[in-house]
Amino acid sequence: MIRSLYRLRSSLFGHCFTFVKLNYHRMIGQQKIYSFFRVASVSSGAKRQLASDNSSEENKYEQVSTPSKKLKSLDNVDRSTIGDSGVILSPEQKERMAQQRAKALERLHSKQGNQLSAGQVTGTPAGIGESWAKALSAEFKKPYFTKLQNFVEKERLTKTIYPPANQVYSWTQLCSIHDVKVVILGQDPYHGPGQAHGLCFSVKKGVDPPPSLVNMFKELAADIEGFQIPHHGDLTGWAKQGVLLLNAVLTVQAHQANSHKDKGWEMFTDAVISWLNKHCDDIVFLLWGSHAQKKGTIINTKRHHVLKSVHPSPLSAYRGFFGCKHFSKTNEMLKKVGKTPIDWGNLNME
């Protein structure tokens, strides 16, 4: 009997303990499921990856997969598109963003292009060489130059003006401003029909060389061995080698010498000489006549070379121009500073 009671008590106790264990597990099961998981922290490697992605404009919006509370460094990311599990952009979304970025860049480039074009066009005369336009851009913005351009345009409406408008700046079209080696200064353009074409002392082929140019050729024949006097007066061949043939005044009314004097051209050509004087070295300046010599007073003779003589005009050539040997002396000076001498005979003879 006693043994039976003992077995009964043990059995009841075991059942009670089992019930308590089951009840305990049931209480655990009633907890929310996320309580069994810990939020994963972002590793240092992931942080470095995020920083790298953020520095790339192309990859900035490609993929965001870390918890939003860890994205404080991604200031440019729209947080409304980021869920707890992260967001991967669809191809359509990526395409739209690429199109928007392309349009924004196009607008920016268009704005910059318009600003550049405006800067290049405003005040710059037509026909001037690119390097000269850049170097002299400040002059085109000055009131005197605007007034000068307006004057010449008005003159052309009712009068014959030389040279033609498209040849006024021929001297800038044949060599860069940085390649000038020799400067010959004239006074104003020839005022006869078909003579002036933008280079001082020069006339186009088919036009008889004027007396001053004829005297220049005579001196060349006496000074330079092998020089043959050409049958024309076109000095384009010199200009292409770096000889700047610059008149002090760049336009003239037909048959009216010095008719455009004191209208502003002198200030502009002074600016040309001043730029060369300041930005180039060892240029040889040939100053023939008192007018050219007065204009050349701004030249730094310690930095450049100056050769002076009377004008080659028939009125003065016999008083010092003939026998001056300026052409051979010019080449000697160029050789001393390592520059290629001028081939004075290269005048595109036919």
DSSP character at residue 174? S
> CA of 327: how far to CAs of 119, 286, 306, 332, 333, in Å?
40, 9, 12, 9, 10
Q: Which of 78-92, 101-115, 315-329, 336-350 has the lowest mean pLDDT?
A: 101-115
Check whether 67 has a pLDDT greater than 80.
no
What is the overall mean pLDDT for the chain? 80
With a pLDDT cut of 90, the percent of the chain lying above it is 64
pLDDT per residue as tens digits for the range 171-199: 999 999 999 999 999 999 999 999 999 99
Segment holding 309, helix H or strand E: strand 305-309
pLDDT at 348: 72
For residue 2, CA distances in Å to 5, 6, 9, 14 come to 5, 6, 11, 19
Burial class (CB in 10 A: 0-12, 13-18, 19+), 31: exposed
The pLDDT assigned to 174 comes to: 97
- Is the pLDDT reported for residue 271 higher than 80? yes
Q: Of 75, 188, 234, 281, which is the active-site residue?
A: 188
In this model, does residue 333 exceed pLDDT 50?
yes
Instruction: Give the span between the Cα atoms of 295 and 3, in whole angstroms.
Output: 142
Whether 188 is catalytic: yes
Domains of the chain: 126-336 (3.40.470.10)
pLDDT surpassing 70 at residue 104: no
